[in-house]
Amino acid sequence: MIYSVVRKKDENGQYVDLEIKFGVGDLRRVLELGDSDDDPTIFPERLCKGLWCRMGFTGHINGKMIKTMFSHAYKFMIHCVVHALSHRKGAYDETSDYIMNIVTCLVLNRPYNVS
Protein backbone atom coordinates (compact mmCIF):
# COMPACT_ATOMS: atom_id res chain seq x y z
CA MET A 1 0.00 0.00 0.00
CA ILE A 2 1.07 3.56 -0.70
CA TYR A 3 -0.04 6.14 1.84
CA SER A 4 -0.18 9.86 1.10
CA VAL A 5 -1.72 13.01 2.49
CA VAL A 6 -3.30 15.67 0.30
CA ARG A 7 -4.22 19.10 1.62
CA LYS A 8 -7.45 20.61 0.29
CA LYS A 9 -9.95 23.25 1.29
CA ASP A 10 -13.24 22.22 2.83
CA GLU A 11 -16.58 24.02 2.37
CA ASN A 12 -15.59 26.59 5.07
CA GLY A 13 -12.36 27.53 3.29
CA GLN A 14 -10.17 25.78 5.89
CA TYR A 15 -7.35 23.50 4.83
CA VAL A 16 -7.93 19.87 5.73
CA ASP A 17 -5.49 16.98 5.39
CA LEU A 18 -7.06 14.13 3.44
CA GLU A 19 -5.42 10.70 3.77
CA ILE A 20 -5.19 8.69 0.56
CA LYS A 21 -4.05 5.09 0.26
CA PHE A 22 -3.91 2.83 -2.76
CA GLY A 23 -2.39 -0.49 -3.69
CA VAL A 24 -1.46 -2.61 -6.68
CA GLY A 25 -5.09 -3.59 -7.28
CA ASP A 26 -6.07 0.07 -7.58
CA LEU A 27 -3.26 0.71 -10.06
CA ARG A 28 -4.31 -2.27 -12.16
CA ARG A 29 -7.93 -1.12 -12.17
CA VAL A 30 -7.27 2.55 -12.96
CA LEU A 31 -4.52 2.02 -15.54
CA GLU A 32 -6.32 -1.02 -17.02
CA LEU A 33 -3.09 -3.03 -17.18
CA GLY A 34 -4.87 -6.38 -17.39
CA ASP A 35 -2.16 -8.25 -15.51
CA SER A 36 -2.30 -10.33 -12.34
CA ASP A 37 0.03 -11.56 -9.61
CA ASP A 38 0.19 -14.95 -11.35
CA ASP A 39 1.71 -13.50 -14.53
CA PRO A 40 5.51 -13.84 -14.80
CA THR A 41 7.87 -10.92 -14.26
CA ILE A 42 10.90 -12.69 -15.68
CA PHE A 43 11.39 -15.20 -18.47
CA PRO A 44 14.17 -17.79 -18.70
CA GLU A 45 17.37 -16.29 -20.07
CA ARG A 46 17.63 -19.01 -22.69
CA LEU A 47 14.18 -18.12 -24.07
CA CYS A 48 15.01 -14.41 -24.24
CA LYS A 49 18.40 -14.85 -25.91
CA GLY A 50 17.00 -17.32 -28.44
CA LEU A 51 14.32 -14.83 -29.32
CA TRP A 52 16.86 -12.02 -29.67
CA CYS A 53 18.76 -14.12 -32.24
CA ARG A 54 15.51 -14.57 -34.19
CA MET A 55 14.97 -10.79 -33.93
CA GLY A 56 18.23 -10.22 -35.83
CA PHE A 57 20.56 -9.42 -32.91
CA THR A 58 24.14 -9.14 -34.24
CA GLY A 59 26.14 -8.45 -31.06
CA HIS A 60 27.64 -10.79 -28.48
CA ILE A 61 24.76 -12.73 -26.93
CA ASN A 62 26.31 -12.50 -23.45
CA GLY A 63 27.25 -8.84 -23.76
CA LYS A 64 25.23 -5.68 -23.38
CA MET A 65 21.89 -5.52 -25.13
CA ILE A 66 22.20 -2.47 -27.36
CA LYS A 67 19.14 -1.69 -29.46
CA THR A 68 21.18 -0.68 -32.52
CA MET A 69 22.24 -4.33 -32.92
CA PHE A 70 18.69 -5.50 -33.69
CA SER A 71 16.92 -5.41 -37.06
CA HIS A 72 15.16 -2.15 -37.93
CA ALA A 73 11.62 -3.30 -37.12
CA TYR A 74 12.55 -4.51 -33.64
CA LYS A 75 14.93 -1.61 -33.04
CA PHE A 76 12.01 0.82 -33.21
CA MET A 77 9.83 -1.34 -30.94
CA ILE A 78 12.64 -1.59 -28.35
CA HIS A 79 13.17 2.18 -28.64
CA CYS A 80 9.49 2.81 -27.85
CA VAL A 81 9.48 0.40 -24.88
CA VAL A 82 12.68 1.87 -23.43
CA HIS A 83 11.32 5.42 -23.61
CA ALA A 84 7.87 4.50 -22.33
CA LEU A 85 8.70 2.10 -19.50
CA SER A 86 12.31 2.73 -18.50
CA HIS A 87 13.31 4.90 -15.57
CA ARG A 88 16.48 6.07 -17.30
CA LYS A 89 17.54 9.66 -17.77
CA GLY A 90 20.08 8.83 -20.44
CA ALA A 91 21.90 5.99 -22.22
CA TYR A 92 18.79 4.96 -24.12
CA ASP A 93 20.78 2.65 -26.43
CA GLU A 94 21.40 0.07 -23.70
CA THR A 95 18.47 -2.00 -22.60
CA SER A 96 18.19 -3.58 -19.18
CA ASP A 97 17.02 -7.09 -18.38
CA TYR A 98 13.49 -6.14 -17.36
CA ILE A 99 12.98 -4.15 -20.56
CA MET A 100 14.12 -7.12 -22.63
CA ASN A 101 11.68 -9.32 -20.67
CA ILE A 102 8.88 -6.91 -21.61
CA VAL A 103 9.97 -6.99 -25.26
CA THR A 104 10.08 -10.80 -25.13
CA CYS A 105 6.53 -11.01 -23.81
CA LEU A 106 5.31 -8.52 -26.44
CA VAL A 107 6.91 -10.43 -29.32
CA LEU A 108 5.70 -13.82 -28.06
CA ASN A 109 2.25 -12.42 -27.07
CA ARG A 110 2.55 -13.75 -23.52
CA PRO A 111 1.14 -12.26 -20.31
CA TYR A 112 3.50 -10.15 -18.20
CA ASN A 113 3.13 -8.65 -14.73
CA VAL A 114 3.75 -4.98 -15.48
CA SER A 115 2.53 -3.85 -12.06
CB environment 22-56: b (16+ within 10 A), e (fewer) = eeeeeebeeeeeebeeeeeeebeeeebeebbeebe
Positions in the chain whose pLDDT score sits under 70: 31, 33, 89-90, 115
19 and 47 within one domain: no
51 and 28 within one domain: no
How confident is the model at residue 15, as a pLDDT? Answer: 92
91 and 77 within one domain: yes
How confident is the model at residue 46, as a pLDDT? Answer: 87
92 and 59 within one domain: yes
70 and 17 within one domain: no
How confident is the model at residue 16, as a pLDDT? Answer: 92
33-42: pLDDT as tens digits: 677 777 777 7
97 and 60 within one domain: yes
Amino acid symbol at 58: T
pTM score:
0.64
How confident is the model at residue 90, as a pLDDT? Answer: 67
